[in-house]
Amino acid sequence: MLKLAFYGDDFTGSTDALEVLAFAGLRTALFLEPPSAQTLAQAGPLDAFGIAGDSRAMTPGEMDDALPPVFDALAASGAPIVHYKVCSTFDSSPEIGSIGRAMQIARRSFGHRAIPVVGGTPSLRRYCAFGHLFARSATDDQVHRIDRHPIMRAHPVTPMHESDLRLHLAAQASLNIASLPFTRLENGPESSAAHLQTLVSGGAEAVLFDSLTAAHLTEVGRLLTLQAATSTPLFVVGPSSVEYALSRQWRASGGIGAPSPVFERFRRVERVLAVSASASPLSAQQIDLAVKAGFAEFAVQAAALLDEPRWELALRQLVSEALRQLRLGKSVILHTARGPRDDRIKSAVAAMHAQGLQWEQARHEAGRRLGRRLGLATRQILREEPLERLLLSGGDTSSQIVKTLAPDALLVVARLTPGAPLCRVVSDQPWLDGLEVALKGGQMGDANFFDTARAGRT
């Protein structure tokens, strides 16, 4: 019997949730579309399943069209809890990837009961205290309030300007959002449950749960299962801390056994293809160290890939150079930016602006179209030179590339870096089936991410 179903608002976040469930010992698969009963039966028996989506890069109007059928399918799946998986940094805006709009849309499929929102993800060093979000930066190993975070305050599409998640989400949707602070979680099960009921009875349409520690998440998981027991399915919003909270509660109550250690090792491969479209400073460090480790680099001129008269020629040149280096026995990294100040970012947006779009529209459409065309390049490279491992960096771009590759499902193979596992592709296409792929957001992993992914862990 299913315990959980989830929708990830981008593909990197989807594999993050998949990782937590698989490492907890639950049989889990990730699909690109709502699976039919027959598909679930063929993949099963499953304890949980996910759908990898891309609503994080959608406008509210696009979400209005895309999300209702997905939410209806998840509500009908039989899972007692349905999770809308968002990034642990909650980066979103009223214009792009609106989490608030997703919550409003969900009320049509799941009813008008209060929506739990889980704030922090302690395992990733994201913390929520009194409603405010804090996150570690890999650039300086310090924890920052999210609106002062060196990467997230300068995100090229959805910079975070507000650390109070209640205010952040309320700016995206007209919802009464209450807070259940960690001090209440620490008062004991009866006290936290009573306070939650008081908030809901007082008219809260959503309740934000703090979390600073694993113990906090265990209590959050208990509260979620109690809510789900009264009326199913329960719709929950949050990062992979939702999976952490539930799996900890299930284990504490005897619902699941001990986690398996089988995911700790993975083999070395001689060549990998890496595609990075992240502009974060950490991604720049990761690219630099990959090149030092022997990766052949190709600095993708994004503006050329976005220019309608010449994009096909630019794509052929990109594919040709990548194939040449791979056939010389080298790993290859394709990148569209080396840090947030790379001139290629402005050039890409300018190329879209020159096609008649307003600047904000141009910024949004540039990332989406670039991801699709990088997906075409990746698909052609893999068809002509089959590889064992593919590495994708940048949440929105990873989503577009994987959508272009169109696997049937993803299964977890190994632990690579927290929030970005190594997965295996299931496909009826021989050149794609069995490919190992890792998808990560720009702020994920350490500086040696790409070389570690190639070298393996024994």
Question: Where do the structural domains in the chain lie, given as residue ranges?
Answer: 4-252, 273-455
* Confidence at residue 261, expressed as pLDDT on a 0 to 100 scale: 67
Q: What are phi and psi of 79, to 5 degrees?
A: -70, 135
Tokens 């300018």 belong to 350
**What pLDDT score does 139 carry?**
83
Q: How far is CA 151 from CA 16, 364, 406, in A?
A: 20, 19, 30
The architecture in CATH of the region 273-455 reads 3-Layer(aba) Sandwich (3.40)
* Residues of the chain with confidence (pLDDT) below 50: none
Other Cβ atoms less than 10 A from the Cβ of 197: the count is 13
The pLDDT tens digits for 245-302 are: 999 999 988 888 777 667 888 999 999 999 999 988 999 999 999 999 999 999 999 9
> Measured in Å, how far apart are the chain's first and last C-alpha atoms?
35
In this prediction, residue 138 carries a pLDDT of 82
CA angle at 406 for the pair 403 and 412, rounded to the nearest 5° = 95
Kindly report, residue by residue over 170-198, the tens digit of the pLDDT.
999 999 999 999 999 999 889 999 999 99
Question: Domain spanning 4-252: which superfamily?
Answer: Putative sugar-binding, N-terminal domain (3.40.50.10840)
What are the pLDDT digits (tens) for 198-246? 999 999 999 999 999 999 999 999 999 999 998 789 999 999 999 999 9
CA distance 416 to 17: 14
Specify the amino acid at residue 315: L
The per-residue b/e assignment along 257-289, b for 16 or more CB within 10 angstroms, e otherwise, is eeeeeebeebeeeebbbbbbbbbbbbbbbbbeb
Sign of the Cα pseudo-torsion (218, 222, 227, 232, in order): positive
What's the predicted TM-score (pTM) here? 0.85
